[in-house]
Structure 1
């Protein structure tokens, strides 16, 4: 029996290590990890997605994307034949954006986001803050959020806010945390909600994902099989 190819796309600024706790049965699935590329000058989301598609070497793959990666895999699915799209801590269309995203889009605030200072503030915080919780978050940031060029971050934030999702795809599986503060639950429709899970559920709810992803991937009707 041939294995099901599963391609994972991380979230904004994140590297594929965010999936390190996700383990799928190697006798059933073959996992591949996509990574962010440096955007070209004024590159459209469509053109950028075409470059990502070149890394997909299998027909009818399953695509799993987190946050902005969830937007990317939806755009990929408009251009190639896929078996299924699963998004985690993401959105299916701009109607699921919170009000602050809509305001940022309306007033074009993405031009003013201080992405160049991301590393600066991280380094200063490490020196002046002694909170164990904050330092643990900084360590997690250093490990998983390594794609930080100003060009990439500016491009990414702008393309999230401007995403219109014309010709949306159907039959998306959406996994979302009830305590997601980036994309709050009240704006999200037709999702599998994990109680008390946050925007980083791919790291903190890996046990649930490892148990349920196989059914989500392989079965058309999976609701009764979830735990």
Structure 2
């Protein structure tokens, strides 16, 4: 077995910071972990342009790229500019068809444009948008990790999540998804590795299970 470390890059969920990965543990002798922080987008910046800027942070060839939720959408766009060992998404979607009906309605009615982002900058409201209306315990757990409150970023990220246009699944994507995810219900998700009892925030409360699955995916030749 090669002694050279495998570099693993992570992109967090919408508005989240690097702390969201605190419960992910991969053997240090085998893996080198990197977290890519969200950039502030240029005004009306195309998703492809933003993805190219994010991809520039992946400096080692043959790396693993992992994204959570909206970060999963982002890594799929970033992959166009990279030669990767593995591309993994967690609690996310692989194409527009997998989005829930409520987000499709939001796009069709342009509802995301009608509510000023400044009105959802509070931790509770932003958390509900990021992970869905669920229990107060989960809201409190996740809101600790929402650090990107820049209005320009939020406007841009929400619009690009709701209006994501990908129709064809990238065959390289490996999808890890919870069977109790209320943001992206598993009934809409095709070809995923399902985590029993996994919610949209399973990256936080099922870290050991997710870590094990990540290792299995990476080491699967």
Length-normalised TM-score, structure 1: 0.86
Change (3 A) 1:5 1:96: same
Corresponding residue for residue 22 of structure 1: 24
- Select 1:37's aligned residue among 11, 36, 39: 39
CA deviation string 1:176-219 (max 9, x = no partner)? 11111110111000001111211001011111122232111121
1:13 maps to 15
Q: What's the CA shift for 1:138?
A: 3.3
| Cα 1:167–1:187 shift into 2, 3 Å | closer
Task: Give the direction of change, closer, same or farther, for the CA distance of 1:140–1:152 in structure 2 (3 Å limit).
Answer: same
**SS at structure 2 position matched to 1:174:** strand
Number of aligned pairs?
A: 210
Q: Which sections of structure 2, spanning at least 5 residues, go unmatched?
A: 126-134
Alpha carbons of 1:12 and 1:2: their partners in 2 closer, same or farther (altered >3 Å)? same
In structure 1, C-alpha distance between the alignment counterparts of 2:120 and 2:159, rounded to whole Å: 16
The CA deviation string for residues 137-196 of structure 1, in whole angstroms up to 9 with x for no partner, is 33641x201111221111101001111126642131111111111101110000011112
Out of 92, 95, 110, which is 1:93 matched to?
Answer: 95
Q: Quick one: structure 1 residues 198 and 135, their matched pair in 2 at CA, closer, same or farther if it must change by over 3 Å?
A: closer
CA distance in 1 between counterparts of 2:158 and 2:142 reads: 21
Larger Rg: 1
SS in 2 for 1:56: coil
Q: Does the CA-based 8 Å contact 2:21-2:203 persist in structure 1? A: yes
Aligned to 1:217: 218
Aligned-pair RMSD on alpha carbons? 1.9
Q: Can you give the 5+ residue segments of structure 1 that lack an aligned partner in the other structure? A: 124-132, 221-227
Secondary structure at 1:173 match in 2: strand
- How far does residue 120 in structure 1 lie from its aligned partner after superposition? 4.4
Cα distance in 2 between the residues matched to 1:113 and 1:195: 35
Give a deviation string over 1:28-69, Cα, whole Å, max 9, x none.
111100010111100010011111112111111100100000
- Deviation at 1:134? 3.3
| TM-score scaled by length of structure 2 | 0.89
Work out whether 1:134 is the aligned partner of 2:133.
Answer: no
